[in-house]
Every structure is written in C-alpha cells, then in structure tokens.
Structure 1
Amino acid sequence: MSVRKREWITSKGEKKSSWVVDYFDMAGKRRMKTFAKKKEADAFAATAKVEVREGVHVADSASATVEEAGKLWIASARASGLERATIDDYERHLRMHIVPFIGASKLPSLSIAKIRAFEDQLREADRSAAMIKKVLVSLGSLLADAQERGLVARNVVRDMKAKRGSGEERKAKRQKGRLKVGVDIPTREEVKALIAALAGRWRPLILTATFCGLRASELRGLRWQDVDVEKLEIRVHQRADRYNDIGRPKSISGERTLPAPPMVINALREWKLACPKRDTGKIGEDGQRVMALDLVFPNGSGKVEQLNNILRRGLHPAWIAAGVTMDTGQADEQGKPVLAPKYTGMHALRHFYASWCINRRKDGGLELPPKVVQERLGHSSIMMTMDVYGHLFPRSDDGEEMAEAERAFLS
C-alpha cells in the first residue's frame, strides 16, 4: 500500500495536485483512491490496511449508496416478518429523512463527522429531537444490515454512539427528568375520582388498564378465553397494532399472567353479558349468521377497537367527569373555560399501576419486589424497570428507620 503525490497541468495551464492511495484489496484487486490532502490519504491508508488484513475492507466502487442499501434493508425487514407498523416506520424514516440528505452517499464514505453533519441538517429542517433519535436508530439498523452483506466495513452510527458514551446520554436523561407523581403518574386521589366517574362500556376497560397495567395494544387484543374469572387472572398472549392487526407481544416477557383484583373481575363479568360479538362468517342451522364472543374490548361490530376511540370517547371524558383536568386557555360559546384531561394517554394508567405495585402497603400499595414488578409490566429486562420506575421504590434509609437504628446503636 502506497501514498503518492500526483501532479498535472490543466488545459488552462493551472498546476494541480492530489494524493493517491494505491493498494490491493482482499481479492488481490488493485484499488486507488484520491484525496486533496496528504493527511486524509494517510488516514485512509492506515484504516484500509487494517481492514484489508482483517478481511472487512470494502472499496467505494464495490459498495452501494445509502439509498440502495436502504432498499435491501427494507426487503430484509419484510422477509424477517417484522410487524407492518415497524416496517412502515422504517420506510418513512428512509424516504423522508435519510434519502433526502445522504441517500446518494456511498456507504464507505460515511464517517462520524458526516453523521454529525446529518444530525445538524435534520435539526435545521425542523425535525424534533425525538425524531432525530429515531432516524439515527433506523440508520444504524440499515448500516448493520449493509455490514452483514459486506457492503460496508463499519457501522459509523454505532461507533458514534459508543464514542459519545455515557456523557451526552446521561445529560439527556437528566434533562428529561424522572416520572413524577401528579405530573406523569396519576395520584391515588385522582384515580379514585376516575373510578367513581366511570360508567358504561368504558368502565371495565379503564379498570383493567388501571389495576392490571396492560398496554393499550394488549387491551385491544385481549380475548375472553384469556380471562379466568375463577382464578382472578388475565393472560396476555396477543396484541393489536396500530393497523388493528393481531399478533404476538413484541417480546417473550410480554406474554404473562396477571392477577386481577375482584373489582376488575366483577366489572368484566357484567360487561361480558353486553359485549359485542364477532361475525364468525359461518351460517347456523337456523340459517342465521353465527356470532361469537372473541375480543374483550371490541368495537360495536366485535372487531378491534381503535385507540383513538378509546381515548376520545372513553378515557378523556372520564378524566373530565372526574374533575382531573387542566385549563386550555380557551373559552366556549358561553364564555366558560374549555377543560382538557390532565392525563391524555393510556400509558398514564400503566404508570399508576407500576407505582401501585411499588408503593408500601401502609400507603395503599402492593410493595412488590423489583423483579415481580418487571414481570407484571412485561418488561424485557429488570434494567428497563429500574430505569423508569427505580426512584419510586421505598428507600431503606428513611427517617423512621434511621431513628430506630440510632436508638439501637446507642442503647
């Protein structure tokens, strides 16, 4: 492998020069790459020498553009059987955020500096911080797929994240802050008011969400066969995605059996009598279409209920009826303030369930150990549970216990 200077004179008589790296790849094929500066050529030569020796080097001319690799990545995602919603997100990130800025770039030309510049471009194009983070995750996945195909030697996105390390990520977590009771997590008094305001078809659904901690997708996919009213248990074996397609939980940990309090079971018993049935597509002996119970919380025709309907028709009116609201700063036709629910998403109820599992018994909680809380929530790891809810667990060094320890020490 050699680095040499090349000089020439243009047709206009101008003297030009560049630096050429001349080397042979793993297959013994001669390759040349040109640079404007010697230090750039030297840096490439050092990297290429190691990559050739390790058998991972990919020359620019033998690689693909980001856009071309993106098409292969999407095809691979489809072949792997990923959820439709996930593939749609990947395609949207590729089409709207990645290709317009770096789609024409050759994969080996990507560097940490270029990815940082890509981040800056996304910010200047008014992409939110959350969207930028998602796009970088997708780009990292794209490069990992390209790396496995031998189209690029390194995944610069993951290299960049490793180089950033804990510094920026810790700073981002500090800025985001921990979940707060009364802000992100409904208080016990607010939940009591919500329960008192519940009525009709939404009562069993919201009670199940509050005291069993199911995700919205798990509630929408819950079947009657997975509700055991005798054992007071609910089994989670499937979920409904944003397109109402039924599938398995995203992880093995998502499949779980949860104890349900009597209030939830009684509400489900009553609801089962009025629950809409699903058309099985079969014709009975009497010539009528056969209808059967399937989903626990379906829409009027027995099919998967839309999340937006649950929020707009069920949860939000219930919060407002309970008086758990916030002023929007607007007024209606009579001049009265327009109120909105203080908590807008279903996940607030899941947060409450987590806090209820964690809180001490003397405070009205279940006082469960972290590992059991993880299993109840269906988290894939205890680290996820502790990252989100670790600060809610009772401390063992509170004032009363410290005073008792002091008395024991001095006695």
Structure 2
Amino acid sequence: MKGYFRKRGEKWSFTVDLGRDNQGKRKQKTVSGFKTKKEAQIACNELINQLNKGEYLEPNEMTLEEFIMEYMQSQGKQILRPKTFETHMFIIDKHIIPELGKVKIDNLSPAMVQKFYNKKINEEHYSADYVRTMHSILRTAFNKAVKWQYIKKNVFQLVDPPRLESKEIKTWSLEEATKFLHSVEKQRFYIVYLLAVYTGMRQGEILGLRWDHCDLKNGTVSVRQTLSRTSKGLLFEEPKTKSSKRLISIPNHVIDALKKHRVEQNKQKLIAGIGYEDHDLVACIETGKPINSRNLIRHFKRMIKESGVPDIRFHDLRHSHATIMLQLGEHPKVVSERLGHSKITVTLDLYSHVIPNMQKDAAFKFEQAMKDVMRK
C-alpha cells in the first residue's frame, strides 16, 4: 500500500488506495491541505500504518448531541436507575447539549472540554462536585463511543475534572441527637428519625423498609430496597450496591419503639378499612401509602427549629450516627458495615475528623497501661 502525492495551488494532498468495496468498486482516501510535501508524506505514512494495523476509522460526522442521545436511550436507560437516568438527562439537556451539542464527536478537543468546565465553575458558579458529574456522564458515554468504533480515543479521558474541595460534615452530638428524639417522640415521623439516628440508614432505605425486613426477635433490620422519588412518582428499587444490602443490629430501645409503632399502625388500618393501601411499610402515611420525601424534609426542618438543635440535613443523621459510634470507641469496620460502605477506607476518609481524638484517647490508654505494668 502506498500513497500518491499531488500539489494543487499552494497546498499538497495525498491519495491512498483502500482496495475494493463489496460491489468491486475501487476505494480511495484523499486528504489535502498540507503546506509541504513532507507534511503530506508524514500524514500519509501514519494513515497507511493505521490501515495496516486495522486501526483506521473514517471521520465521524455525528454530533455530540446525536451520539449522547443515542447512548442514553440504548445504554443509559438500561443500566441506570430511573432516578439517576432522570438526573443525567436533566444535566445533558440543561448543560451539555447547549454548550457542546453541535460539535462533531471527531472534532472535540481537550481544550474545548476544559473551557466548558471552566465556564461552569468560574462564570456560572456551579460546584466542582456538579461539574464532576457532567464529566462522569461524558467520560462513560464516550468510552462506549470508542468501543462502538465511532471514534479512536476518548477525549474526556485526557481532561481532568475540577478538584473537589473537602466539605465539613455537620453532625449532632450524642446530647443533641437525644434532645431532638425526645422532642419529636409524639410526632408522626418519629420512627423515621429514630431509625436514622440509631442505624445510620439512608432516607430512602428507611422509607422503603418493610416489616418483613425486621426481625424484632433477634434485633435486626435488613436493608433490601429503597424508596426513590421520580417524575413518574415514588418507586421502590434495589439498593445501588451489594454492600448496601446489609443486616443492621438494633438495640432494645428501637425494638420496643418499633413494636409500639406497629400497634399504632394496626389501629390506623382498622380506621381506614378498605381505603388502606398496605405495602407492609414500617414508615408510611395514615392510608398506608409511602411517605413523600419532600413532606418528610419539611417536617424535619420544622422539628429542628422547635427542638432547638443545630440545623443539619436529613442525611447528616447518618453522619451523626457514624461519628457518635466512632467517638464511643466502636471499630471503624463495624461502623462501615452498618453504613453499607463498600470499603472501610470510605468510612475512614469520610470521618477522618474523628480519628485525631481517637488517637489521643488511644495514646492515653496506652500510657495508662504502661504505668499500671510498672507499678506491679
């Protein structure tokens, strides 16, 4: 295989024979626009090398918008959870397509992508975490574009997303958590708050918890599903990861509260009669239907004000549970298992602010042990 060179005006071009197509017609590839013959020769040799190795791909005329929509419909919808799919589509429609949608996927450059990220951060003031989500969507999609042989390389692998800044986790102390629970003991969502503080379960895991998942005799609850809010309504789903499916031990106080809650719930069933929609949920509204997370958060914020404790997010109840357990001397591995983290390093990274105090206590205990031995 060799190239044929030709000068047209001030520019050089080359042509390479590609053999014949299925109909027996001769196939050629011509590339032009080179300033010198040497430049054309270098490009020609590179093309021939790619052809010999089977690495050559014809330039793709597909735009980013065309590709990302094809990918999301054929792949994203199959592998993503409904809520995640909706979130990704929102980001694609609001941010990615308006900025990069008309660019051909073959013409995307690292500089172009970096400019897009910088604009989102510096001009539109979106968080680094949010822009990293955009990057993750695009990088994953374009990995598939490479596998589908639409493009040679994934340009999003060549660009670094913005660096995350460490966030300070807000938590309640043991006293604040106790004060809050005492304040809301007579409230309708008390059992939700109690489980959040005592187990570290996520909001969706608590709202998706069924009585069938509770073993009150042996003092455990099993995380097997979550409740998610989507545009199509509330939806029960399996936990995201294998580690999220877990068995959590609960103390007698929580067991007694669950038993009491179930008695009250059975009374509600009798009052509602045939109008009760039984999903076997531990936490539900008076008619048995799942709790809408928006209503729960509104109630949570109101209860915070009334109880006089520091303002935190609902998810921070999970952080509070972990922090308190670590401060009480529980092994990080146990805390990690209760939270459903995939690795203990995730737990240690999240709650590194607790570690210095633990080390201080450990040093003190070691010193005391040494002194005790010396006294003997």
Tell me the TM-score normalized by structure 2.
Answer: 0.81
Deviation at 1:267, TM superposition (A): 1.4
Counterpart Cα distance in 1 of 2:203 and 2:123:
32
Deviation at 1:379, TM superposition (A): 1.4
> Which amino acid is the alignment partner of residue 378 of structure 1?
G
- Residues 403 and 95 of structure 1: CA distance in aligned 2, closer, same or farther (over 3 Å): same
The percentage of counterpart residues that share the same residue type is: 23
Deviation at 1:144, TM superposition (A): 1.5
Deviation at 1:387, TM superposition (A): 2.0
> Which amino acid is the alignment partner of residue 292 of structure 2?
Q
Matches within 5 A, 1:137-152: 137-152=136-151
Q: Indicate which of 314, 326, 346 corresponds to 1:358.
A: 326
Cα deviation code 1:149-170 (max 9, x no counterpart): 1111211212323xx8xxx74x
Deviation at 1:217, TM superposition (A): 0.8
2:289 maps to which residue?
Answer: 303
- Residues 55 and 5 of structure 1: CA distance in aligned 2, closer, same or farther (over 3 Å): same
Partner of 1:185, secondary structure, is coil
Q: Indicate which of 341, 359, 376 corresponds to 1:395.
A: 359
Cα deviation code 1:220-273 (max 9, x no counterpart): 111011111111111100001122100100011110010112222211111112
2:184 is equivalent to residue 185 of structure 1: no
2:342 maps to which residue?
Answer: 380
1:14 maps to which residue?
Answer: none
Counterpart Cα distance in 2 of 1:219 and 1:242:
14
1:369 maps to which residue?
Answer: 331
> Which amino acid is the alignment partner of residue 395 of structure 1?
Q
Partner of 1:305, secondary structure, is coil
Gaps of 5+ in 1: 9-16, 326-341, 360-364
Q: Larger deviation: 383-392 or 208-217?
A: 383-392
2:203 is equivalent to residue 216 of structure 1: yes
2:57 is equivalent to residue 95 of structure 1: no
Equivalent pair of 1:203/1:267 in contact (CA under 8 Å)? no
Equivalent pair of 1:278/1:293 in contact (CA under 8 Å)? no
Q: Larger deviation: 391-400 or 63-72?
A: 391-400
Deviation at 1:145, TM superposition (A): 2.0
1:229 maps to which residue?
Answer: 216
> Which amino acid is the alignment partner of residue 296 of structure 1?
V
Counterpart Cα distance in 1 of 2:337 and 2:20:
51
1:133 maps to which residue?
Answer: 132
> Which amino acid is the alignment partner of residue 324 of structure 2?
W
Counterpart Cα distance in 2 of 1:237 and 1:26:
58
Deviation at 1:26, TM superposition (A): 11
The CA RMSD over aligned residues, in Å, is: 3.7
Q: Larger deviation: 39-48 or 193-202?
A: 39-48
Counterpart Cα distance in 1 of 2:126 and 2:341:
27
Deviation at 1:57, TM superposition (A): 3.8
> Which amino acid is the alignment partner of residue 263 of structure 2?
L
Deviation at 1:290, TM superposition (A): 7.4
1:258 maps to which residue?
Answer: 248
- Residues 37 and 346 of structure 1: CA distance in aligned 2, closer, same or farther (over 3 Å): farther
- Residues 410 and 90 of structure 1: CA distance in aligned 2, closer, same or farther (over 3 Å): same
Counterpart Cα distance in 2 of 1:156 and 1:217:
36
Equivalent pair of 1:277/1:291 in contact (CA under 8 Å)? no
Counterpart Cα distance in 2 of 1:96 and 1:157:
19
Counterpart Cα distance in 2 of 1:104 and 1:116:
17
> Which amino acid is the alignment partner of residue 204 of structure 2?
S
Deviation at 1:324, TM superposition (A): 1.5
> Which amino acid is the alignment partner of residue 299 of structure 1?
I
1:268 maps to which residue?
Answer: 258
- Residues 115 and 317 of structure 1: CA distance in aligned 2, closer, same or farther (over 3 Å): same
Equivalent pair of 1:3/1:22 in contact (CA under 8 Å)? yes
2:315 is equivalent to residue 347 of structure 1: yes
Q: Indicate which of 174, 181, 188 corresponds to 1:201.
A: 188
Cα deviation code 1:315-352 (max 9, x no counterpart): 22222222114xxxxxxxxxxxxxxxx11x21110001
Deviation at 1:21, TM superposition (A): 6.8
- Residues 321 and 4 of structure 1: CA distance in aligned 2, closer, same or farther (over 3 Å): farther
Equivalent pair of 2:297/2:314 in contact (CA under 8 Å)? yes
Counterpart Cα distance in 2 of 1:48 and 1:178:
53
- Residues 70 and 405 of structure 1: CA distance in aligned 2, closer, same or farther (over 3 Å): same
Deviation at 1:87, TM superposition (A): 1.3
Partner of 1:59, secondary structure, is coil
- Residues 186 and 55 of structure 1: CA distance in aligned 2, closer, same or farther (over 3 Å): farther
Counterpart Cα distance in 2 of 1:133 and 1:96:
15
Tell me the TM-score normalized by structure 1.
Answer: 0.75
- Residues 291 and 245 of structure 1: CA distance in aligned 2, closer, same or farther (over 3 Å): closer
2:301 is equivalent to residue 316 of structure 1: yes
1:333 maps to which residue?
Answer: none
- Residues 400 and 382 of structure 1: CA distance in aligned 2, closer, same or farther (over 3 Å): closer
Q: Larger deviation: 37-46 or 210-219?
A: 37-46
Counterpart Cα distance in 2 of 1:407 and 1:22:
87
Deviation at 1:55, TM superposition (A): 3.8
> Which amino acid is the alignment partner of residue 68 of structure 1?
E
Deviation at 1:212, TM superposition (A): 0.4
Q: Larger deviation: 223-232 or 193-202?
A: 193-202
Deviation at 1:407, TM superposition (A): 6.4
Partner of 1:241, secondary structure, is strand
Q: Indicate which of 75, 83, 91 corresponds to 2:81.
A: 83
Partner of 1:109, secondary structure, is coil
